[in-house]
Structure 1
Amino acid sequence: MPRATDMPASPVLVRKAGPEDAETLFRLTAGLIEDHLPGQEPWTNAEAIKANGFGADPLFEALIAERNGRPIGFVSFFRGYAGWRGQPMGIVHALYVVPDERRSGAARALMAGVARIALERGWIRIELFVEEGRTAIAFYERIGMRDLRHRHMRLEGEALERLARSDL
C-alpha cells in the first residue's frame, strides 16, 4: 500500500471527538498500544472510553484527525495545573497517527489543535511524556517542545497500596 507521503495529499481535518467516537478512539488507542507493546491486548474498551471522556465529569478530551472522512489519528489531553506558576496547563496523554499516515502532517495538525485550545482557555503551556529513544522526540522538538530532562515516575499496584497503608 502506498504511504501517505507518496500520494497527493487531501487536507487533514481535525475535529473534537464526541461520545459517538468512542469506538474510533478505542481502535486508535489499540494501535498506539500495539506500537509500544506489540501483542499486548488493550487494558480498556470503547465503553470505558465513552464513560471516562464524555460523561458528567470527563477525565480527558480528544481530537480526531481525518483524511477523506477516514480517522487517521487522535490526541487525548486534559487540564492540569502548573503549581509554580499558579496557572492552568494542558497535558497530552496520547498522540497517535496510523502508520500509513505518518509524516503526512496529521500529528502536527492534532498538536496545533491542542495549542489553539490551550490559548483559548488561557493555559500557560502544554506538556507530555515520551519514552526515551522514541522517534517522536524529534517531531516534538520540531514543533517547538523542549526536553526538560525530567524522569517520569509512577506509583501503582502493590507499591501504591503499601504506601497508602503506611503511617505518615
Structure 2
Amino acid sequence: MSSEITIQRATAKDAVEIAEMVGELLAEITNAIGIQAFNFNFAETASRLTDFINQEKYFVFVARNENGRPAGFISLYESYALYAEGAFGTIPELYVRPEYRSDELGLRLVSQAKGFGSSRGWTRLEVTTPPLPQFDRTLAFYEREGFSITGGRKLKVLL
C-alpha cells in the first residue's frame, strides 16, 4: 500500500485535514494514558496551523493515499541551542492513521523530515514521545530510526 502513498509539503489549504488528524492523535494519547493532557479545539487548531504554515514557523509533510485522503503527517519547527551547535529541528507531531501503520509510512515521514532538516542545515532532529510505558512502541520506532535517548523528561508550565 505504501507505494500508492505520496508525501508532500503541506500548504495552508491542508490545515483543516491536518487539524483533523491532530485531533485523532491527541484523542489516541488521551485514551491510552487516561488523562486529559491536551486542550483541543478543532477550529482554533486549523486556524493556528494555517498561521504557522503561512509564516513558515511550522513545516508539515502530509501523506495521502491514491484517492487523496490524508493517511498521516509529520510536523517540524526550527529551534536554536548552544548544546545543539546551532539550528535544529523538533518533531512535535507524527501521526499515521491506524490502517496505514503496518505500511512503513511512519518511516517514510521521518525520512522526509530528516531530508528537509538536512537541506536547512539543521544539526539534529529531536522528538519527545508520548508518555511511557503506554507508548513503548513509539519509543522503539524512533530508536529503530536512529534516535537515541538523551535523558530527562519533557516538562511544561502554563503561562
> 1:103-138 CA distances to partner (integer Å, 9 max, x unpaired)?
211111111111001111110000011122212111
Contact 1:97 1:107 in 2 (8 A): yes
What aligned pairs does 1:66-105 form with structure 2 within 5 A after superposition? 66-68=64-66, 69-105=68-104
* Richer in helix (by share): 2
After TM superposition, the runs of 4+ consecutive aligned structure 1 residues lying more than 6 A away are none
Shift of 1:53: 2.4
Larger Rg: 1
SS in 2 for 1:137: helix
Contact 1:10 1:67 in 2 (8 A): no
Contact 1:53 1:59 in 2 (8 A): yes
* Identical pairs, percent: 25
SS in 2 for 1:63: strand
Q: Residue type matched to 2:94 in 1?
A: L
Q: Residue type matched to 2:76 in 1?
A: F
Shift of 1:85: 4.1
Relative to the length of structure 1, the TM-score reads: 0.80
CA distance in 2, matches of 1:30, 1:151: 24
Contact 1:16 1:64 in 2 (8 A): yes
CA RMSD of aligned residues (A): 1.9
CA distance 1:9–1:88, shift in 2 (3 Å): closer
Matched residue pairs, number?
Answer: 148
What aligned pairs does 1:103-142 form with structure 2 within 5 A after superposition? 103-130=102-129, 131-133=131-133, 134=135, 135-142=137-144
CA distance 1:85–1:143, shift in 2 (3 Å): closer
Which residue in the other structure is 2:46 paired with?
46
CA distance in 2, matches of 1:12, 1:147: 30
Unpaired stretches in structure 1, ≥5 consecutive residues: 1-7, 161-168
Of 134, 145, 148, the match for 1:146: 148
CA distance in 2, matches of 1:132, 1:46: 28
SS in 1 for 2:7: strand
SS in 2 for 1:110: helix
What aligned pairs does 1:23-42 form with structure 2 within 5 A after superposition? 23-38=16-31, 42=40
Unpaired stretches in structure 2, ≥5 consecutive residues: none
